[in-house]
Structure 1
C-alpha cells in the first residue's frame, strides 16, 4: 500500500508496528518542518502517530504544552501531546491542514482537517480498520466498504464518529449601518495573517501564479511577507500554451510585485502524454476536474524543480462568489450565502482533491491560505450581497451588471494594477489555453465526434486501464454540480 502512494513523500519511508497492539503504520515523508528529526511514524509513551499536512500553530501549542515534552522539531508531534494532555476538544485546537491516524494499545483515532484539504480514507479488512491517504493504496487489496472520512470528522474506535467542525453559515444581507470600508480593511488584515501563517516552513515556499485575481493576491501578499523577513523574492510559477492570456497576465503580475518568476509552455502533445498520469493520480474521470488538473500538473512539475511547497488561490471562489453561475444569485443573497456554505463543504472531493492529488503526484505540497479557519470565519460573516454585488447598487434587477468577489477586490485593490483587480474571471483551464490544447489532443484520441460525452468516456476508459478495480475509484468521485442550492 505504501509503495502505491510513495510519490506523496519521497524523502523517507518507514513501516512500524506498535508494541503489544495489532497496529502497523507506514509513512512516506515530504519533509517541510522538522526536516532533520521529523521522521514518522512517531512513537511515544505507548502511542503511535502518522500524519499528513501541516500544523501551523505548532509553535504556540509547544509553548502551551511545554517545550520540554517534545523530542523533535516536527509540527506533527504536537498532535500526540495534545491528545495525551486530555484537554477538552483537543482536536479543535489544531490549526492547519491535516489528516492523521493515532493509535494506543486499545484505541484508534483518525481525523481530517475542517475543509478536507488533506485526504483520508477508511475501509474494513479482516474485522479491522485500514486507512490510507489515497484510494489507489487500496487497489488490489481485499477490503470492503471504502469511504472517505468527511472533512471535520473524527472516527474513534472507542467512542465512534464525531463531527468536531461545522462550516459557519454565511451571512446574506448587510444590517443597517454596516460599514463596508471597515469590513474590507479587516478582511485584508485577516488575509495577510493567513498568508503569513501558511508560509511557515523550514524550506522555501513558492506560489502558483496564473495571473488571475486569487493567485495574484496571494503572491502579492506572500512577496511582502518574504521581504519583511529579509528573504529573497518570492518564486512564482505560471504555465500555459504559447501566447496564452494566463502567461501574459502572470508575467505582468510578477513584474509588478518583483517576484522571481518562472514559466513553462505546454502543447497539445504534452496534454496527450499527461492524460494517463493525471487521471490515475486524480482518482476521477470527471471532465471538468480532469481539464483543470492538466495545467495544475504542468505547474506542479515546474515548481517542484525549485521548491517543495507552494501557495495556491483555491477557496476564494467558494468564499467570495467567484464562479460564473454565482451571478444568477445576485438578487437572492440568502440563497447565495447558502450555496457558498454548501460548496465549501464539498471542496474536498472536487477542487481540493485535484490540488492535493496532482501536486502530491510530483511530491509538492500545495497550501491554500484562503481556507485558513480564521479567514473562513470572517469571510462567512461578510454579507453575500457584498461578494456578488451589483455594479450599480441601485440597479436591483436580474439584468443589472454584477461583479463577482467584489469585497475581495475592494480589500486588495491597492496590491495590484486596477485592470487586473477589476477584470472578469477566467477559468484556469481556459486562461491557460488548456481547453484549446485539449481539443487538439482529444481529436487524436477519440474515434468519432469529440464532445463532452465522448470526452468523459475516454477518461473513464483511461482510468479503467490503470486500476485493477476502477469501480471503487469511480464510486468515490465527486461532481461539480452535486446538490446546488437553487436561487430565487
Structure 2
C-alpha cells in the first residue's frame, strides 16, 4: 500500500516547477519522492510506504517500460487478484498499486471495475500516446484536474497542486475514469438496493450478517507492514471500529487508540471508558482554546474547504491525527456509519422509508468532498493514512439491503439502533447507547469557534460581505473560514470544489 501525493501532466514541466510541486505535497509522502519524464508525459510522486515498504517506489513501470503508473491508495483485493493473474503475469514489485497497471495491460479500462479499495491513479500508455485516469467509487482518495494555457492536462492529489500549473481546477468525479478518447465515464455508483431483505427475515439473522460484514471490513483494512492504530472519539462508530480492531489485532503490543478534546469534553471521558473496556494503549491530547484558534489557517489550508461544519470537525481531526502520527502510520476511523444507518438528527424528520432511503443513498454519494475529504486531508497533513471500514463496498451493499424501516429513528427510538443491536455485548452499555454528538460538539470545539467568529466579525461586516461574495455565506463562522480559504485559494474555480453540509 502506498499513501501519497502525485501529479501527472500531459506534456512536461520544468524540473524546478516539478520539484516545487513535490515539495508542496511532501506531507502526503515523506518517505521518498521522484519524477520521470516520458515522451509526452511527466509524472511526479511523493510516497508514504505502508505495504511493500522496501519496494513499490513510483512511478511504477511495466517490464517493457511502455506503461507507467502513479497511484495514491490501497487496493484491498490485490492479493486475490495477484493470485489469479500471477501464473501468466510478471509482477515487478510487492506494491498493491501495481495491480492497477497489470489489469490495464490485460483488460484496458475495464480492469478498474475489478478493484476493491480506495484509490486515484493515472496510467501513461506511451505507445498509444494516451493515458487512463480513475478514482474509487466513493472518492475516498482525492483527485483534481485542470488544463494549462498550452492545453496540457494536469491531474493531482490536492487542489493546491493543480494551481501550480493551471488557472482553473475541478474535482475528478468519484466512480469515474477518464481517457482522452472516451472523456469521463462513470464505471460505478452506489445505488439503492434492487431488493431488500424480505419483510419476514428474522431480525437476528440480519443483525448477525451486519456484524459479520463490519468485522470482515475491519479485518480487510489491517494489512500493513507498519504500526497501526484507531481514532477513538468515544462515540458509537469509532468505538465499534476500535473494539473490532482490538479483537483482531495481531501485534505483540496492545493496539494504540487516540482521542483529543477540550478540557472536560465528553469525548475524552467516553474514549477513556472504551479504551479501558477493549484494552487499547490509549493516548489523548487536551488542546486549549488558543491552540484551536491558532490552528484554523493551517487546517483550512490542508482541508481545502471553508464549509463551517466541515472546518469545525476538521480541527479535532487535525489534532488527533497529529498525536497518532507520532506512534503509527495507519489509523482506522468511523466515517460512513451515519450515512449507512441514518445517524444524523435531520434524518429523524423523514418518516417515509422511501424518502429516507433516497436521502441515505444521496449522502453516501456525497461523502467525497465532505467527510472523506476531512479525513484524507487532516490525516495526510501529518503523513498518516486513514482507513474507513464502514465504507467497504460489500458492507454498503449489505446495509442498503436492510429494510429502511429498521433505520427510522424518533424521540423514542435512538438513531442507528440497528447497528447498536448488532453489537450488543461488544461495548459498555453506556457507550453502545450513547447518543450521537458531532465530532466538533463532543470534542468541545463548537462553542469556542462560535464565540470567536462573533468577536471577529461585526453584524455590519457580515451583512455587507455576504452580499459581495459569489457564494452564499450562511453564518459569521462561514465568513470567517471563507476569508481564510480565499487567501490560500483565490481562484474562483476553487469554490466549485467545496462540498457543503445541509446546515452551516
TM-score (norm 1): 0.91
Contact 1:171 1:334 in 2 (8 A): no
- SS of 1:30's partner is strand
**Greater displacement, 441-450 / 156-165:** 441-450
Equivalent of 1:349 in 369, 389, 395: 369
Equivalent of 1:95, from 95, 113, 116? 116
Q: 1:192 aligns with which of 206, 215, 218?
A: 215
Count of residues in Structure 1 that have an aligned counterpart in Structure 2: 466
* Cα distance in structure 1, aligned partners of 2:442 and 2:68: 46
Corresponding position of 1:454: 476
What is the CA–CA distance in structure 2 between the aligned matches of 1:103 and 1:373, rounded to whole Å? Answer: 28
Report how far residue 24 of structure 1 moved. Answer: 0.5
Using the alignment, how far apart are the partners of 1:252 and 1:137 within structure 2?
Answer: 42
Compare 122-131 and 214-223 and name the one that shifted more.
122-131
Which secondary structure state, in structure 1, belongs to the residue aligned with residue 69 of structure 2? strand
Q: Which residue of 1 aligns with 2:344?
A: 323
Shift of 1:433: 0.6
Q: Distance in 1 between matches of 2:252 and 2:388?
A: 21
Greater shift in the superposed pair: 205-214 or 437-446: 437-446
Looking at structure 1, the residues matched to 486 and 241 of structure 2 have their Cα atoms a distance apart, in angstroms, of: 37
User: Kindly tell me: are residues 450 and 360 of structure 1, through their superposed partners in 2, closer, same or farther at Cα, counting changes over 3 Å?
Assistant: farther
From 34, 38, 53, the equivalent of 2:56 is 38
Once the two structures are TM-superposed, the CA of residue 6 in structure 1 deviates from its matched residue by 2.0
Q: CA deviation at 1:107?
A: 1.6
Task: Output the CA distance in 2 between the equivalents of 1:323 and 1:202.
Answer: 36
**In terms of mean alpha carbon deviation, does 449-458 or 196-205 score higher?**
449-458
Q: Spell out, residue by residue over 1:167-216, the C-alpha distance to the aligned partner (whole angstroms, 9 max, x if none).
A: 03057986431211100000100110000001111112110000000000
Name the residue aligned to 2:355: 335
1:486 equivalent in structure 2: none
Q: Secondary structure at the match of 2:366?
A: helix
Report the equivalent of 1:149. 172
Q: Which runs of 5+ in 1 are unaligned?
A: 391-399, 483-488
CA deviation after TM superposition for structure 1 residue 2, in Å = 2.5
What SS is found at the alignment partner of 1:200? coil
Q: Is the 8 A contact 1:241 1:437 kept in 2?
A: no
| Secondary structure class of the residue paired with 2:96 | coil
Q: Partner residue of 1:395?
A: none
- 1:401 matched to which residue of 2? 412
Q: Where do 1:2-41 residues align within 5 Å?
A: 2-18=22-38, 21-41=39-59
Assess if the C-alpha contact under 8 Å between 1:70 and 1:77 holds in 2.
yes
Asked if 1:480 is matched to 2:493, the reply is no
2:157 is aligned, of 133, 137, 159, to: 133
CA distance in 1, matches of 2:321, 2:167: 32
Aligned counterpart in structure 2 of residue 419 of structure 1, from 412, 416, 430: 430
Cα distance 1:142–1:425, how it changes in 2: closer, same or farther (>3 A)? closer
Measure the CA separation in 2 of the matches of 1:78 and 1:24: 21
Tell me the equivalent position of 1:252. Answer: 273
CA contact 2:450–2:477 (8 Å) conserved in 1: no
Give the superposition deviation at 1:309.
1.0
- Aligned partner of residue 340 in structure 1, secondary structure: helix
Contact 1:169–1:338 (8 Å) recurs in 2: yes
Q: CA deviation at 1:461?
A: 1.3
Q: Aligned-pair distance for 1:445? A: 3.9
Q: 1:120 aligns with which of 123, 143, 151?
A: 143
Q: CA offsets per residue over residues 114-148 of structure 1, 9 Å max, x none?
A: 1000011111222221101111012353444x221
Question: Measured at CA, do residues 454 and 50 of structure 1 come closer, stay the same or move farther in structure 2, by a change above 3 Å?
Answer: same
- C-alpha displacement of 1:442: 3.7
Q: TM-score, normalised by structure 2?
A: 0.88
CA distance in 1, matches of 2:234, 2:437: 10
**Distance of 1:198 and 1:413 partners within structure 2:** 23
Q: Which residue of 2 aligns with 1:78?
A: 99
How many angstroms apart in 2 are the aligned matches of 1:158 and 1:113?
20
Seen in structure 2, the aligned counterparts of structure 1 residues 88 and 69 have a Cα distance that, compared at 3 Å, is same
Distance 2:195 2:420 in 1: 19
Alignment of 1:165-176 (within 5 A): 165-170=188-193, 175-176=198-199
Task: Report the secondary structure of 2:189's partner residue.
Answer: coil
Q: 1:368 aligns with which of 365, 379, 388?
A: 388
Q: Say yes or no: does 1:287 pair with 2:308.
A: yes
- Residue 433 (structure 1) aligned to one of 444, 450, 454: 444
Query: 1:160–1:443: structure 2 CA closer, same or farther, 3 Å change rule?
Result: closer
Show structure 2 runs of 5+ residues with no match. 1-20, 463-473
Matching residue of 1:485: none
